[in-house]
Structure 1
Amino acid sequence: MNTRGALLTWDISRLAEPARALATFAGANELVGLLSKGVVEQSHLNRLVSDHLLRDPRLAPPVDLMGAGRLLPRYQAVPFLLREAEERDFLDWCRDSSKKLAIRLVTGGSGRGKTRLMIELVGKLRDGALVAPGLTRSNWVAGFLATDLLERLGGMHPRYEVPFGARGDLFIVLDYAENKRREVTALLKAALAAHDAGRGDRVRIVLIARHNAEVFQDLMRQESEFAGRGLIQMHVDPLAPVPEPQNFYAAACEAFSVADDARAYPDKINADFGLLSIAAMLAATTGDAPPSNQTAILEDALSHERRYWIAAARAKGLPEALDEAVLEGIAAVTLFGLQGAIPDITAAAELLAALPRLADQDMNTRLKIAKIAAELYPHPAGHVEGVALDLLGDQAATSILTARLEAVTGLRSEQVTDAQLVSAFTRAGWMAARDGDTVRPLLGALCDRFGERALRAIFDVAPNVGHQLGDLAADWALASKEFTVSADLVFGLPERTVALRKLAAVLTRKALEASSGATTEMRAALTNDLAYRLSAIGQREAALEATHEALALYRDLAEARPETFTPDLAGSLNNLANGLSDLGQREAALETAQEAVAICRDLAEARPEAFTPNLAMSLNNLANILSDLGQHEAALEAAQEAVALYRDLAEARPEAFTPDLAISLNNLANRLSNLGQREAALETAQEAVAIRRDLAEARPEAFTPDLAISLNNLANRLSNLGQREAALEAAQEAVAIRATSPRPGRRPSPRT
């Protein structure tokens, strides 16, 4: 057997039983029969991948499809024009033979045309219609990854390796990747395993996301398999608006046979693919030029969609008395049904039973409403998503349910699944990024109804969609008098986060306010956490006050149980020293830092393997504070001791302590410079840059901002020695990095 088929050698019998799960998919029956009998040849595996696991996203619309369902990207109703630059870029990327495996993140807001761009590229790869050298029809197996189908291969592990057994070059697209961390992780790990084993040909993976999300940064930071590979382009500019929007709009009007006198270009809207397509469809429907602003276009289009819903209800025998229930039902399905959260019509009917107007209706009535949503906005896997166009779907869910908030606050919460809640807050988050005030009432009603479940869903979603969702949730939590925050909820927040930092501060304060009957240990932990959360949102005075309170609690705990709580006392002292220094209270900061060092020194002498890192960190803090007070010799001595400790720690455990060594070297360079030891300062700064450059190459999202700090420091050291050109080069690199790499909030640590 040749090496390209090597994947077939790993117990292919595992494909037989799980393959029976594919039988419900149209066109898979013959293949499933072969697989189930264990007759697995390379051609069968190729068919499984090319026909089913990597789906051709292009479909012909049902002949009787009406309304916005025609605009679903898979139907390609509007010509895809004027994206030649993006297409050429991707073709060059595919053609590049220097990398067998490469991965891209494509971002952009709702309606920007990301999915349609990938549909066009997949189509060209599958059809062999590309003119770029090296790309032929026989080479490429391309499509959108059917994660739902992979998940049904239960019993086979690792199931995500199956696509990489196909012969030929692979082009794999995963849409809504920001909400599919588990699937993204499994896919990338399988791709790396196949790559490292030398299996297959070129592999290109495209992750489509609405936001350059924290989830991807966390993924790269936490999954060690991805570090240092140079495979994942994390800093991809968002897809630009449509170039030459008037020409694109004219082509869209032509596609919908818009009358000549209704083709006026709506010049006050964003030049987005989706919005311009909706405007052209609206002009065709009404016979008039569309409104000139986005909200009016979406509301007018939604008004026509509602007419289709009601007409379909009549056709199914539903009485006029249920019209409001139909509107609420389809809006609810749209809100709760993203990305397979409502897998089929039966599940949609079960969700509809949660609505007050439909709770007492029979199953047949709810099924009819579910079928309206499924038939007007069909999904190839049978999912029920409601108004699946992102922009119009956001408008439908928000507009209809905001006008009927009692439908949300009256939901039977036990009938709404966690996946459906994630869907709801994903839509709310997309809307919040565009118009927070509009979605605020709906988000508040959801939080009122689902309480802690809502917030846990927001914890999952906000890093994927942007800080606006977290900020709105923080406003709700702050205003809510009835909602009680548990410590478990607070401790479930991610430690490093931009999107949730305001919400984290509000929830931590509320949890602390509700903790009067809790143990001293719990109140100390919450107070310490509050200090960090307040610092992350810039409330330094309040953070300092909380740090003082945490320190007092830890002093009591350490006095009663020194073996358990003395390390926490030292950590609290370090935090207080940093807080005092930041507010200019340097003498008090010095006294506090010296106490922290003394405690950590005792701890490290007793248990060096456990507490030497604490001592090194405390010495770094002490060196900075001594320098701020002009005690440069003492500062240098503390900094040198910290570097010596971190060198030993980094030699023993480089993955854990090399970043700390870079911090301490950066500080030591500053201390040396303060004493006029410029050559030694330059040498130390160069070492810090070299270390951080390696770290940033391996984990750019985590360490690139730190590299900018060290480059800036290096520029200063070079300038002090008169090496102006080299200094300018380092400074320019630092500025370029800072322009693209914001730093998330983090726990107090030695200044760098």
Structure 2
Amino acid sequence: MGAVVGGVGTAFGPTLYERFRRKADEHEAAQEAVELLPLMQGPAQLLYPLRGVIPFEGRKRELEELTAWCLDESAGAVRLVTGPGGVGKTRLAWELGRSLKDKGWGYFYVGDDQEADAISRLQTAGLSRILVVVDYAETRIGLSSLLVEVAADKDRQVRVLLLARSTGEWWRHLSAGSVRVRQLVADAGADGIVLSESVTAEKSDLELIWEAVPWFAAALKVEPPANIKMELTPGRKRILDLHAMALVIVLRSQQENNESISIKTEHVLEELLGHERRFWLQSAKARGFLHSPTGLTASAIEQVIAAGTLLGARDKEQALEVIARIKGVPATAAIAEWLRELYPPDDDQEWLGRIRPDRLAELHVTRELANSPELRATCLTKLDRRQARRALITLARAAAELDDAQQVFQELLPEVADDVGTIEAPRETLIAIHDAIPHPSLGLAEDQVLLIKRILDSISAEVEAEEQAHWLLALGVHLKELGKFVSAIQVEREGVAIYRQLVDVDPDRHRSNLAWSLFKLSMTLGELGQHADALSAIEESVSIYRKLADTRPDRYRSNLADAVSRLNMTLGELGQHADALSAIEESVSIYRKLADTRPDRYRSDLADALSDFSYRLAQLRRHADALSAIEEAVTIYQELASTHPDLYRFSLARALFNLGAALGDMGRYIDAFPKAEEAVAIYREIADAYPDRYRPDLASVLSSFSAIIGELGWHADALPKAEEAVAIYREIADAYPDRYRPYLARSLSNLSYRLSWIGRHDDALSVTRETVTIYRQLADAHPDRYQPNLADALSNLGAALSELDQHADALSVSEEAVTIYRELAAASPDRYARYLANSLFNLSIGFSQMDRHADALSATKQAVAIYRELASASPDRYLPNFANSLCRLGHQLSYLGLHAEALAAEQEAVAIYREPANIYPERYCPDLAHSLSHLGPRLALLGQLPEALIAAQETVDIYRKLAGAYPERYRSDLDKSLHDLADILLQLGRESDAASAVSEALLILDKDEGSHT
């Protein structure tokens, strides 16, 4: 490495190699005085890629590709390599530089904050061909400036290799930079080279560990252990983990002297950190920091190193300030110098370095901060902007893999939140802060809006239109988080308009951006109920992505899948369910093919698409198919969550709850309950850890969970869940009314239903009135979005008033609900006809309660006519609704003494229910039993006693089975059906059989009322 870097000269300060050599000299001079480890630094430093302890392994294709890129004079100047921490990005770059040395190339590793002047400093080196490596490119605020200099350098062949954990906002931001930078990024490709966790397919993980052991033993000047037992979990491991395992094996062999060593990969970084801690303590002891009257404790030493790694220091004075943050540690020059010696800085912009490798640094910092509230209080407050940025980046990276880090990260955010929107900093810094904040974040959404507005203010629309469009759409995202959908639509339309203009100039470059912006706009329009406009936007997006996927399938098929999935949702909202099903089927098909070739990348997307597919099938009452789809999604997420719980536990919880809902749709509430309960437990755990992000999700599933519990007849148990959901939403809606008042209203509606079931009708009425008040205010502001919700709430209010015999008021609000739905159905019959039918159904009940039976019959006939037409077009979806309306029609006809017509309606209802009850007995047998319960008495009334007996006996048989499975839900129905059967038996002169039926009913009464029997 020295030879490679040496070609650059001394213009950039001492190299890493020179620092290692200097430290060796210092230790040699002190060797006679103290006894230290046989290492200049902690053992973990042997894993640092630039040390090159282990020969380079694998990555042959990637190395050849990068070498060819460097040597090709016509190639673009920039390449991107991405992959999670520990897969070998830095080592690949260093090996590339080493291989180019013999060809006369120089190699320059850009230190943090050196991007802006790196190229100008290189001009003094006298080299014509240079490889420039920028690690952690996603965090470099001066990266755009570096690329501008590269684009302007026409005298030399400069290649810039960017290393990052992933693409994202930072990469999209670069692609929206100046014309020169945009071209460099475009030449680099959309995703660059993505490194998988496996460095080679030719050797197993065990072989890679075995090969590394002798090299680490040689570096430590010890004999390699002879017998090793290793436990590897399924799946390929990152090369850093494998080398860490080999290093830990060698270190442990020197301590235990046993014949065999056993270690698990999931514990290896923890154990390596333990060896590193021992090194710190030995080094501190050699300096005299321990075991004196004013000596440091081991805990204090570990906290000092964590603070230095987290915050760094630009000079010695700031290092002393960092040390002073640790309780019980004197801020002396000796400790500061020792800390710098342990971890020297990588460049001359920093005075303190950090633990290497970075994943070890992130682990140590996270552990120390998580275990000490006092340390968090001192290290996450009173930070200058450089320290805040460094801490944000460190903890943000750690949060991707460590649960504790996310919580610590959340504690840091308030320290910087007050300044986020007003901080004076270059645009690159503002963007870095924006990208470091987790999304979505309730507490920081307003700050994000202010931050993006500052970024937009720094952009010249005439020169940087693409970047302006990008940030307008990002602004729309955060405005929606605040519930400001109208404002979001305005800025998103502006972004779409800019992209349209750019497409006119350069269609190949900007069509994908236009498709993406239309996708986002469609989502926002849908949120406000503007589904026709949303459909237009998403159809255009799908059309663009379809053309792009035809020419570049590897790049755009996943975008097409996302777009058609969104199309499915919009079509469903418009009542076009057949077309919606076709769209989501296409999305599933695309993701299934992608997941077959890239399972690590696309299996989660497949699971999401299957979940949407399940929902659409359920909407069409294809319950068996819906269940199959969601079960496959759950299986995928269970596998993903078993290896990456932090990434996929939330998705698993969501899929589990959807599985419970699918089982509930089939009437299998006993099976649904444990799935939903497991999902709620996961949601609660995640929401407790990250309340700012996940409490709304917890409230949503609690509300739905209460409905599942209610279907089991456990109404007293369902109520607390509904009340908790309302309490959460009430608290959040107080802070963010624009965003969460609709959710509060929805949860209140569910709560009123739960209260009614346990007989608390006064409370239910009060809650329903509040629901109507909220929806009326929302509908005044956004009629397209909330008029349907208002109508539904009015229908519920009518039912609540009826329960308290306030029939005149109930009829009034039911009529208002019908009026709203008539207007909606006239404009969008596919979407609202079924809602009009349901509101007419409820209105007929109100008329009946006021003894206006002719009006009730008219309303019911209108509902039946609508459902008959809907069922004719979509029988799977609407036949059950049609059958239910026929039952109601029979009831109304009987009031008017039209028993023959009532019988015909009820017989038609029973005939309709028989088929779905045979296919989905748990879902539709209750409906069949309900329709039969009317049919038996009706036949008896008309003198058809043998037929009446058959219907009544079938009703009892069904309710017996249902009450056996769900006693609290169906015992009362069984009791009534037994009395109806007894009446018919008495009319047939079968007194003993009638007495037997009544005796069975009395046993049910005894169970229900106990001593009051």
Note the alpha carbon deviations across 1:509-539, whole angstroms, 9 max, x for none.
xxxxxxxxxxxxxxxxxxx9999446756xx
The partner residue of 1:216 within 154, 171, 178 is 171
Aligned Cα root-mean-square deviation (Å) = 4.8
Counterpart amino acid of residue 147 in structure 2:
L
Q: Does the CA contact (< 8 Å) of 1:213 and 1:464 recur in 2? A: no
Closer/same/farther in 2, CA of residues 162 and 143 from structure 1, 3 Å limit: closer
Closer/same/farther in 2, CA of residues 189 and 460 from structure 1, 3 Å limit: closer
- Matched residues in 2 for 1:412 and 1:715: separation? 46
Does 2:500 match 1:659?
A: yes
- Matched residues in 2 for 1:226 and 1:343: separation? 30
1:249 counterpart residue number:
209
1:322 counterpart residue number:
296
Q: Does the CA contact (< 8 Å) of 1:715 and 1:728 recur in 2? A: yes
- Matched residues in 1 for 2:235 and 2:11: separation? 39
1:38 counterpart residue number:
none
Give structure 1 stretches of 5+ with no counterpart: 1-25, 28-45, 129-135, 152-157, 479-483, 497-527, 551-570, 579-612, 618-655, 663-687, 718-726, 746-750
- Matched residues in 2 for 1:715 and 1:111: separation? 37
- Matched residues in 2 for 1:78 and 1:369: separation? 32
The partner residue of 1:69 within 45, 48, 59 is 45
Cα deviation, residue 67, structure 1: 1.8
Q: Does the CA contact (< 8 Å) of 1:268 and 1:292 recur in 2? A: no
1:603 counterpart residue number:
none
Counterpart amino acid of residue 190 in structure 1:
E
Give structure 2 stretches of 5+ with no counterpart: 25-38, 218-223, 254-259, 459-471, 520-535, 564-569, 571-1013
2:367 counterpart residue number:
399
- Matched residues in 1 for 2:264 and 2:456: separation? 42
Cα deviation, residue 445, structure 1: 3.1
For the residue of structure 2 that corresponds to 1:434, the secondary structure is coil
Q: Does the CA contact (< 8 Å) of 1:141 and 1:170 recur in 2? A: yes
Cα deviation, residue 352, structure 1: 1.6
1:622 counterpart residue number:
none
TM-score computed with the length of structure 2 as normaliser: 0.42
The partner residue of 2:135 within 167, 175, 192 is 175
- Matched residues in 1 for 2:474 and 2:51: separation? 51
- Matched residues in 2 for 1:464 and 1:739: separation? 30
1:83 counterpart residue number:
59
**Structure whose CA Rg is larger:** 2
Counterpart amino acid of residue 430 in structure 1:
R
Cα deviation, residue 91, structure 1: 1.3
Q: Does the CA contact (< 8 Å) of 2:47 and 2:243 recur in 1? A: yes
For the residue of structure 2 that corresponds to 1:384, the secondary structure is coil
The partner residue of 1:418 within 385, 388, 413 is 385
Q: Does the CA contact (< 8 Å) of 1:462 and 1:469 recur in 2? A: no
- Matched residues in 1 for 2:498 and 2:231: separation? 59
- Matched residues in 1 for 2:324 and 2:390: separation? 18
Cα deviation, residue 104, structure 1: 0.6
Closer/same/farther in 2, CA of residues 57 and 271 from structure 1, 3 Å limit: farther
Cα deviation, residue 418, structure 1: 1.3
Note the alpha carbon deviations across 1:96-143, whole angstroms, 9 max, x for none.
2333x52111111111111111111112222x1xxxxxxx2xx32223
Q: For structure 1, which segment, 372-381 or 231-240, has the greater mean C-alpha deviation from structure 2 after superposition?
A: 372-381
How do 1:58-457 residues align onto structure 2 when only pairs under 5 Å count?
63=24, 64-65=39-40, 66-99=42-75, 101-126=76-101, 128=102, 136=103, 139-145=104-110, 160-164=119-123, 166-182=126-142, 184-195=143-154, 199-200=155-156, 202-228=157-183, 230-241=186-197, 242-243=199-200, 244=203, 245-257=205-217, 258-262=224-228, 264=230, 266-267=232-233, 271-287=237-253, 289=261, 291-294=263-266, 296-320=267-291, 321-323=295-297, 324-337=299-312, 342-358=313-329, 361-364=330-333, 367-368=334-335, 371-372=338-339, 374-375=341-342, 379=346, 381=348, 383-411=351-379, 413-414=381-382, 416-435=383-402, 437-449=403-415, 451-453=417-419
- Matched residues in 2 for 1:147 and 1:486: separation? 25
Closer/same/farther in 2, CA of residues 454 and 350 from structure 1, 3 Å limit: farther
- Matched residues in 1 for 2:287 and 2:65: separation? 49
Counterpart amino acid of residue 446 in structure 1:
L
Counterpart amino acid of residue 187 in structure 1:
L
Cα deviation, residue 224, structure 1: 2.9
Note the alpha carbon deviations across 1:248-274, whole angstroms, 9 max, x for none.
222211212341213636345752122
Q: Does the CA contact (< 8 Å) of 1:107 and 1:209 recur in 2? A: yes
Closer/same/farther in 2, CA of residues 310 and 455 from structure 1, 3 Å limit: farther
Cα deviation, residue 279, structure 1: 1.4
Closer/same/farther in 2, CA of residues 491 and 710 from structure 1, 3 Å limit: closer
Q: Does the CA contact (< 8 Å) of 1:428 and 1:443 recur in 2? A: yes
Larger helix fraction of residues: 2
Q: Does the CA contact (< 8 Å) of 2:355 and 2:361 recur in 1? A: yes
Closer/same/farther in 2, CA of residues 148 and 532 from structure 1, 3 Å limit: closer
- Matched residues in 1 for 2:233 and 2:432: separation? 31
Cα deviation, residue 348, structure 1: 2.2
Q: Does the CA contact (< 8 Å) of 2:82 and 2:166 recur in 1? A: yes
The percent identity for this pair of structures is 18
Looking at both structures, which has the greater relative contact order when contacts are Cα pairs under 8 Å and sequence separation is at least 6? 1
The partner residue of 1:693 within 495, 508, 512 is 508
Cα deviation, residue 706, structure 1: 6.9
Q: Does the CA contact (< 8 Å) of 2:370 and 2:408 recur in 1? A: yes
Q: Does the CA contact (< 8 Å) of 1:330 and 1:373 recur in 2? A: no
2:916 counterpart residue number:
none
2:697 counterpart residue number:
none
Closer/same/farther in 2, CA of residues 221 and 383 from structure 1, 3 Å limit: same
TM-score computed with the length of structure 1 as normaliser: 0.55
What is the number of equivalent residue pairs in this alignment? 491
Cα deviation, residue 189, structure 1: 1.2
Closer/same/farther in 2, CA of residues 390 and 714 from structure 1, 3 Å limit: closer
Cα deviation, residue 733, structure 1: 3.4
Q: Does the CA contact (< 8 Å) of 1:349 and 1:363 recur in 2? A: yes
For the residue of structure 1 that corresponds to 2:163, the secondary structure is strand
Q: Does the CA contact (< 8 Å) of 1:67 and 1:376 recur in 2? A: no
Closer/same/farther in 2, CA of residues 707 and 306 from structure 1, 3 Å limit: same
Cα deviation, residue 432, structure 1: 1.5
Cα deviation, residue 351, structure 1: 1.5
